[in-house]
Structure 1
Amino acid sequence: MISIIICSADAEELKQVSKNIDQTIGVPFEIIGIDNSEGKRGICAVYNEGKRKAKFDILCFMHEDIEIKTENWGNILLNIFSENKEIGVVGVAGGGYKALAPSGWYCVEYNSPDRSFQNVVQGFKLKNKEEIHAYHNPYLQKLSEVVCVDGMWFCARKNVLKDKPFDEELLRGFHGYDVDFCLSIFGKHKIVVTYDILMKHSSEGNFDREWFETILKLHRKWNAHLPLTTTKIVDEKVIYLTEKRAIKNVVEQMLEWGYSFGEIQKMLLSGAKSKRMPLRLFFKGYIHLVEQHFGFGE
């Protein structure tokens, strides 16, 4: 009843997660583990192949460095989809605000409970840190509606992907696929986070310049529609101040990574396509770029 699609880089990790799924899912399932250990294909291409092979109506896309802690989680998932036909995607971590400023599935600068919703045990491979239980359910809900989910684990109805497959032409690597897919269906299907399925994710992700290059591509595609939020009553001043802080931080990060003045200017001009944000936001960003690049005001 659930087709689980995994882009596999490590045969031993695939073996371990397959055993974990078998012991915890509690419903009929299939695992479509696609070997990509040499990294020759992007994750979007692999996931589209998995979608074509899947025989069940609910598709689960997940990383292989995951251990699901919840027993009979398959029944929980199927009940979520069966009880609300408007739901198209279910994840365990997601953000209720997708910034116009280049970013992932949540915006650090958004000072609101809607910034993130999650129930995940987060491990660390790149940093010497103890694992943490990241639980944020500010409204004490069973399900929280979000704009985007984290790609570590999310499930979707197969018919949702029929018209909106993963964009393997634009995204040829291993980043941005989760945000891009969610933005492609946002407003057409509900995207939610459940707190009833707990799992451990062993890696925290590497948000480096390679990741950011993908995010820039993704934003050039979607900037006209951003920012987006699930907040019912939106304070436009809060949104503007959030974006101003976020864009200034992006400018500083791009300078730190060695982007040229022209490349950062291109990022700002791309953001000016937004139908929601006033042009003064980009003048603020440009002034900040000039000040930071030439050292004015120091």
Structure 2
Amino acid sequence: MISIVICSADQTELSKVSENIHDTVGIPHEIIAIDNREARCGICDVYNEGAKKARFDLVCFMHEDIEIRTENWGSVVKHIFESDPDIGIVGVAGGGYKSLAPAGWYQLEFHSEERSYQNVLQGYKFDDKQEIHAYHNPRNERLSRVVCVDGLWFCTRRDIALRFPFDGKVLTGFHGYDLDFCLSVFPHYKIMVTYEVLMKHASEGNFNRQWLDHILKLHKKWSYALPLTTSVMRGNEMYDIEKRSFERLIEQMMRWKYSYWKIQTMLWHSAKTKQMSTRVVFKAFRHLLKLHLHILPFPDGQRNGPTTA
């Protein structure tokens, strides 16, 4: 009934999650675990290989550092897809707004309930924090429609995974694959977050420069189609979101010593948008120029601008 694809880098973790899946999935299944310890292929190539090997009509892509707590979750997923043929992706965390400014699925500058829908027990590996139950269901729904989902766990139809393969040419590492897949599918199918499947995720992800490098590649590809939203945007709300997002991004890129040319190139790619006025990109360029020329003080007091590629 469901094929479960895992890109494995740790045999101990794989053994644990495989046992957990067998104990909880509740329907006929197969685990397609691809050992990537030596090959170190990008996750897009691994997932495409897994989708081709899948025997069942539903395919679940998941990390191996997960413990699913919901019994018979396979039946929940199967029922969701059977209930609506227009549903193409189901995850447990996602965002209802995908910005034009390069970012992940969670839009911090979007001060609205639409920015996240999730039901995940979140552990922390990189930060010294206690596990939290990240639950956000603002409309008390069984399913919430979103633009994109988090890659820790998501399910799709096998024919969709084959029709919209993961882009291993643009994304050669382990970041951005979930957003890219969702942006391919979004114009054709509904993307949903379910609150009926609960799992613990051991790692919060590492949102560092390597992650941002992949996000910049992703946005070079998709800027023409962004921003996207599943909510009604009022007045200048979208413009204000993007203005804040670009300013925050520019400041972060300067802290991480991206070159002025690299930041400017990011803005040029963003100007390809067909979804909103490029006025916001022009404003972002002015913000960059003022910081670069020290006309504006840097927010954290730093004065040194970008220096490297």
Same fold (TM over 0.5): yes
Query: CA 1:236–1:39 in 2, change beyond 3 Å: closer, same or farther?
Result: farther
> Alpha-carbon deviations, 1:233-279, whole Å to 9, x = none?
22251000000000000100000000111111111111011112222
Output the TM-score relative to the length of structure 1. Answer: 0.98
In the alignment, is the contact (CA less than 8 A) between 2:8 and 2:37 conserved in 1?
Answer: yes
> Alpha-carbon deviations, 1:54-76, whole Å to 9, x = none?
10000000000000000111111
Question: Aligned AA for 1:276?
Answer: Q
Cα distance in 2 for partners of 1:162, 1:258 equals: 39
Aligned structure 1 segments of 4 or more residues deviating by more than 2 angstroms: none
In the alignment, is the contact (CA less than 8 A) between 2:118 and 2:136 conserved in 1?
Answer: yes
Give the corresponding residue for 1:184: 184
Cα distance in 2 for partners of 1:51, 1:145 equals: 24
Question: Aligned AA for 1:225?
Answer: A
> Alpha-carbon deviations, 1:201-230, whole Å to 9, x = none?
000000000000000000010000000000
Moved more, 203-212 or 157-166: 157-166
Shift of 1:162: 2.3
Give the corresponding residue for 1:230: 230
Give the corresponding residue for 1:68: 68
In the alignment, is the contact (CA less than 8 A) between 1:5 and 1:60 conserved in 2?
Answer: yes
Superposition pairs for residues 207-226 of structure 1, below 5 Å? 207-226=207-226
Give the corresponding residue for 2:7: 7
Give the corresponding residue for 1:111: 111
Cα distance in 2 for partners of 1:18, 1:228 equals: 36
Cα distance in 2 for partners of 1:286, 1:250 equals: 12
Question: Aligned AA for 1:166?
Answer: F
> Alpha-carbon deviations, 1:78-107, whole Å to 9, x = none?
000111111010000000000000001121
Does 1:50 pair with 2:50?
Answer: yes
In the alignment, is the contact (CA less than 8 A) between 1:9 and 1:39 conserved in 2?
Answer: no
Gaps of 5+ in 1: none
> Alpha-carbon deviations, 1:146-183, whole Å to 9, x = none?
00000000000011122111111111100000000000
Give the corresponding residue for 2:307: none
Give the corresponding residue for 1:175: 175
Cα distance in 2 for partners of 1:25, 1:100 equals: 37
In the alignment, is the contact (CA less than 8 A) between 2:118 and 2:135 conserved in 1?
Answer: yes
Cα distance in 1 for partners of 2:87, 2:147 equals: 12
In the alignment, is the contact (CA less than 8 A) between 2:52 and 2:162 conserved in 1?
Answer: no
Cα distance in 1 for partners of 2:161, 2:102 equals: 25
Cα distance in 1 for partners of 2:279, 2:258 equals: 23
Over aligned residue pairs, what C-alpha RMSD do you find?
0.9
Give the corresponding residue for 1:59: 59
Gaps of 5+ in 2: 298-309
Give the corresponding residue for 2:287: 288
Superposition pairs for residues 79-228 of structure 1, below 5 Å? 79-228=79-228
Q: Secondary structure at the match of 1:166?
A: coil
Q: Secondary structure at the match of 1:282?
A: helix
Cα distance in 2 for partners of 1:133, 1:62 equals: 19
Does 1:240 pair with 2:239?
Answer: yes
Give the corresponding residue for 2:253: 254
Question: Aligned AA for 2:240?
Answer: L
Cα distance in 2 for partners of 1:97, 1:222 equals: 14
In the alignment, is the contact (CA less than 8 A) between 1:223 and 1:273 conserved in 2?
Answer: yes
Shift of 1:286: 1.0
Cα distance in 2 for partners of 1:297, 1:79 equals: 55
Cα distance in 1 for partners of 2:253, 2:233 equals: 29
Give the corresponding residue for 2:278: 279
Cα distance in 2 for partners of 1:122, 1:186 equals: 26
In the alignment, is the contact (CA less than 8 A) between 1:24 and 1:69 conserved in 2?
Answer: yes
Identity %: 57
Question: Aligned AA for 2:283?
Answer: K
